[in-house]
Amino acid sequence: MKIHPLLALVLTAAPLLAQTPEQILKRFPNADVDKDGRLSEQELRAVQERMNQGRGAQGAPKSVPTVAAAPYGPHERNVLDFWKAETTAPAPVLVFIHGGGFTGGSKDGVGGATIEQCLKLGISFASINYRYSTQAIYPAPMMDGARAIQFLRSKAREWNIDPTRIGVFGSSAGAGITMWIGFHDDLKKPDSADPIERESTRLLCIGTQGGQSTYDPLVIKEWIGGRAWEHPALLRLFGAGTVADIEKPELRKLATDSAALTHLSTDDPPIHMTYSEPDGPLPADAKPGQGIHHPIFGHKLKERMDALGIQCIYQHTKDAPPKPGQSMIDFFRDHLKPERK
């Protein structure tokens, strides 16, 4: 069965957060460079980077960006690639935000076939990097994603972009950033001396794979059970040393604010969500972090969005339609290119 290029990206771009270090080591034994029987953070990141490089080569060869590594902020990871659609009228833009547990991954992880599909539809494409949590804790990764959107809008005339039609999609950490930007109140600063900050951060539509609608470990513990809430990426995101640190008032504030659900309101954009983990209770012997992409994140979000009357499409890979990926493709096309309905 042929899988649509965009779904191929979404399904294969799920980062290593979905697996425990032991499972990753079993799958990639050569990743244990120092042969000490375990994977260090550096070794895990190296595996993630190699996987991203492989994904980028999937399907059609990746075309050369119209603009490569454009700096949208002051940090070395504040860069994005942009592919310009050949259109006369200003084109919409679909932006990809990579996953990697906020400690790995790259803008290079996007597949060439996905880019080409968008360009053929008359949709320009962008893929961004953002600061890792090891470089700057929350809300830095989210704020970087938001600034990238503002930067693209600031380039509307130069890059032939329609600033009213910007969509974003991502997997895992990238999905979390996507939802946070999409549901957050507009972060523009009309009186700022920085012209980029004067641009809007609002989105027209968003898509996610394995997305976490909250990063609050205590809420994750309540929703999912097991030890998903003990994933080390969650501690690093907030600069916490131990699980017990999450109880501290200052970290409780960060954890609550990091949840996309915290910012959801009636004027927020529609979403298309895809999940692939088993939709049921975790096993009794679940390892720390197991279940971090659990479908319950999507169920909780859909329940809230349905109540607010916002379009929310939930899809599990086991229930994929006859043409896998067509639902998500139609979703982006219909919202970014409504005249093609």
Tokens representing residue 152 in the block: 């693209």
Q: pLDDT digits over 238-281, tens only? A: 999 988 899 999 999 999 999 999 999 999 999 999 999 999 99
What span, in angstroms and rounded, lies between the C-alpha atoms of 280 and 190?
Answer: 46
Residues 6+ apart with CB under 8 A from 29: none
pLDDT tens-digit map of 63-100:
899 999 999 999 999 999 999 999 999 999 999 999 99
Distance CA 145, CA 187 (A): 11
For 6-25, how does the pLDDT look when each residue is reduced to its tens digit (9 = 90+)? 444 443 344 444 455 666 66
| pLDDT digits 0-9 by tens, 23-69 | 666 666 766 655 566 666 556 656 655 554 444 434 456 789 999 99
Residue count of the chain: 341
In whole angstroms, give the CA distance from residue 150 to residue 46: 31
Q: pLDDT tens digits, residue range 205-240? A: 999 999 999 999 999 999 999 999 999 999 999 999
C-alpha 73/C-alpha 144 separation (Å) is 8
Q: Give yes or no for residue 161 having a pLDDT over 60.
A: yes
178 pLDDT more than 90? yes
Secondary-structure percent of the chain, ordered helix, strand, coil, rounded to 5: 40, 15, 45
CATH number of the 5-340 domain: 3.40.50.1820
Predicted pLDDT at 117: 87
The angle formed by the CA atoms of residues 280, 282 and 286, to the nearest 5 degrees, is: 160
Q: What distance in Å separates the CA atoms of residue 169 and residue 176, rounded to the nearest whole number?
A: 10
